Amino acid sequence: MAKQEQIVIGAQVDWWRGAVIYQIYPRSYQDSNGDGIGDLKGITERLDHIATLGADAIWISPFFTSPMKDFGYDVSDYCDVDPMFGTLSDFDALMARAQSLGLKVMIDLVLSHTSDQHPWFKESRRDRTNPRADWYVWAEPKPDGTPPNNWLAIFGGSSWQWDARREQYYLHNFLTSQPDLNLHHEPVQEALLDVVRFWLERGVHGFRLDTINFYFADKYLRDNPSLPKELRNDSIAPGVNPYNHQLHLFDKNQPENLEFLRKFREVLNPYGAAAVGEVGDAQRGLEIMAEYTSGGDKVQMCYPFEMLQPTRLTADLLAETFGRMNAVAPDAWPCWAYSNHDTVRHITRWDLCESAARTYTVLLMCLRGSLCLYQGEELGLPEADIDFEELQDPYGIEFWPEFKGRDGCRTPLPWVTDNANGGFSDGNPWLPVKAPHLNRAVGAQDADPASMLNHYRRALAFRRAHDALRVGDLTDLVATGDLAAFRRLGDEEIFCAFNLGAEQAHIGLPKGNWAAIGGDLGATAAMGGEVTLGPWGFCLMRKE
């Protein structure tokens, strides 16, 4: 697609603000050729499902050329499609189909690191004088031969790997086969921005930026301080991972990132494109979101982990999260999600019954910010129970059995109930389709008005119908026990109250005349200025 055509297409102002973005994990969405792995043609064939759901955009996890040690998050060619997913022509066809359905397309860019099979790294590790010698983070050993500092990798062990060719260590925040790029080196920045331009020229409407706060490491390679046990949490890494024992001051979250994000934004602006950054930080996620989205000259949105944590989102946690955000980032635009390809599905993680899951769905639709839905979330899929012999994820294999990895949320999407693979593939799927998922297949839910799928369709339509929910302010958020209540203000005023507990709760309406809305979602109407909410009940009222 030509640049001028894309500028016209992308000219809608702030299309991303308040958007519902549906995340596709391409390996597991739909297989079109029977090899057991989802692909771009499969996505194209099934885009109608997302359009009828009511999403505004799709985010496709990496499909670039890769040795697949981390299933595409280890890129060996940023500007081509891995053959297992198809071709650039297949991507162009996907773009055309998405646009015909009114869907924006965002793709996942992994700019902090590459695969060790990337030509850049192969050249960089050759010796210390080649043209790309400084393209990755290389460091001398300590005098005793040990790594230059105490930094730890998220996937376990030291984040430094010895390379015999250069007799130096290279940095890897994830797998040893994922060396970190040196963005302190200007040619690296320019090369990455050229990648951005390549995909914008091809028509994409935006990017999800993987590990956005890992782009720069401290140039002095200072040790991270230890983190007291009482301050540790497992929102970024599982509790058994020693990564949680450090306060990660120097291996990520560096101030130099702000200037790079400004350069990145300058590339986006002529295309009307948007970006959402994944902020992986257990202590300062909201503060970093404020830094990265402030001023209108960096990324438009950030994807904090506050609602991806193991702990269920309670009324108090909701109030605390928005209170912190209002304090440090009142103008920031978050992108909220309950589930993604790296976390246990929230139905299982929070141990939700059916009615609780429906209430949390409506709550998400009523929050200020943009939203991400992870494929299968709309079906109410629980985490799949994967046996050790079935594991593919190196993260799970490393920390089994205390941590089972990410395969349980990555199993193929079930489309039909009448075959063992759920209509995902005619071949042997790369991960198994489990029986509990078959019962929740799209085909089983599509025509049932009471299904979770149709509840999501109604919830998305409700959000789309009320601009105050999509783009309005959120104010007066209070938590009383399990009850959370707030107002959304825009071209109308909407009062929202959610009972996030298994006991009955009562609340009075603010002053004024209010009309009940959201009845088709299961909302309870107020009577006489008060409302009694049963377990997991909610109330939605519009001021007249």
Residues with catalytic function: 210, 278
Rounded alpha-carbon distances, angstroms, from residue 328 to 247, 258, 473: 20, 17, 16
Sorted by sequence, the CB contacts under 8 Å of residue 321 that are 6+ apart come out as 286, 306, 307
- Residues across the chain: 544
DSSP label at residue 527: B
Alpha helices for 154-273 (secondary structure H): 186-201, 256-268
List, in order, residues 6 or more apart from 478 with CB less than 8 Å away: 319, 484, 485, 486
Give the count of alpha carbons within 13 A of 83, CB side only.
2
Q: Provide CB contacts within 8 A for 451, sequence distance 6+.
A: 444, 445
3-class SS letters over 85-106: CCCHHHHHHHHHHHHHCCCEEE
Q: What phi and psi, each to the nearest 5 degrees, are found at residue 226?
A: -75, 160
Long-range contacts of 479-485 (CB under 8 A, 24+ apart): 479/314, 479/315, 479/316, 479/318, 479/319, 480/315, 480/505, 480/507, 481/315, 481/505, 482/314, 482/315, 483/315, 483/507, 483/533, 484/315, 484/318, 484/319, 484/363
Measure the CA–CA gap between 314 and 360, rounded to whole angstroms: 10
Q: Which SS3 state, helix, strand or coil, does residue 292 take?
A: helix
- Alpha carbon distance 365, 470 (integer Å): 8
DSSP 8-state assignment for residue 45: H
